[in-house]
Amino acid sequence: MLQIEKIGTSGPFTFAGGRFPGEGGSCAANLAPRASCLITIEFAPPKEGPHTGSLKLVLKHEGDPPRTETIQLTADGVAPAIALAHAPNSRLALTALLATSRLDSLDTTNGTEATLGSLLLPGLSATWHAGAGSVLCPFAGARVRRMSFATGLGKPLDPSARWLWEVGAGTEVTPGNHRFVTFAVSLGLGTEGIVTGTSQSALTLDAFTVPRVRLRGRYSVWDEGPYHLALELGGAFLLSAARGAHRLDNGLELEATLVGRWRPSSAPDSRAPAFRAALGVERQRLNTNFVGQSVLRLGLEVGLELALGGP
């Protein structure tokens, strides 16, 4: 009886599907005399040209010391034709959110802050996102989104805002471990809940329609089976806007959100609904003709995400 005690690969070679003996393989920990089995290896070159690697096995016969067998592997990487993906990648997210906001006034002459007050607001959000085609690049698995479109009622992390509309483009890189990183830039319009008055007992909020430029990045922390956990980092520059006697000169917001999704494993179709939860923090600085404002906002979202099209 031959025992396979240890096995591994090197170079751009891995077991098909990520584990020994590879998808379609038949080897196990033991091999009977005069028997044979199959190991399936996957080749994922990072660039064009020849590549080398190895398959190493530590084998042991009963009563004998273990020995190492090395099988050299060689293959050529060939660039595939760039493929166009025409199907839109659309999704609809319906979420309930609860956010607490601490609002401070800013004295720009000496940099001091004074607390205006705190708000705890519930809200609802419905956001539709669509990618209008993409280009799949060779090797790195990069996906360049030619255009993406997002619109919705309510603004993530901010129940006092009424709507958000953005259009932009970005890239998506998917390494071999199924984790991915996205970068995107977008232009849009949206409302911001801005303090336009204060009293001893209450804050007066008004919804400004504000043009914005946003940069966003996302890293998939965990993507196994039905579970997906991602860290999203973003920032937006808010341009000038006016409402009545009040004016927003400019603003800057930075946000970090931890997003978790769970799709029932009993539904193999990628269009199956996913349950979504997000915990985020947003820091916002605004310059208005009322007073400079600083907002620290903590938000929790729970909801449902539906895939409407695409892979």
Q: How many CA atoms lie within 13 A of 133 on its CB side?
A: 4
**Under DSSP, is residue 18 helix (H, G, I), strand (E, B) or coil?**
helix
Strand partners, 286: 251, 293
CB 221 within 8 A of CB 179: yes
* Residue 39 structural domain: 2-77
Cis peptide before 21 (omega within 30 of 0): yes
pLDDT digits (tens, 9 = 90+) for 85-123: 444 467 788 889 898 888 888 665 566 667 778 888 898
| Domain end position, chosen among 77, 96, 111 | 77
Same domain, 188 and 171: yes
Structural tokens at position 152: 């919705």
Find where tokens 């953005």 sit. Answer: 166
Compute how many other C-beta atoms are within 10 angstroms of the C-beta atom of residue 118. 11
For residues 12 and 133, membership in a common domain is answered with no
Cα gap 190→208, rounded to integer Å: 8
Considering Cα of 203, then 205, then 158, then 168, what sign does the dihedral take?
negative
Encode pLDDT of 194-249 as tens digits.
777 766 556 777 888 889 999 988 888 887 777 888 899 999 999 988 877 778 88
143 and 222 share a domain?
yes
The verdict on 119 and 262 lying in the same domain is yes
DSSP 8-state symbol, 156:
T
> pLDDT tens for residues 275-285?
989 999 999 88
Ranking 10-19, 183-192, 193-202 by mean pLDDT, the lowest is 193-202
Domain boundary among 59, 77, 95: 77
pTM given for the model: 0.63
Same domain, 255 and 233: yes
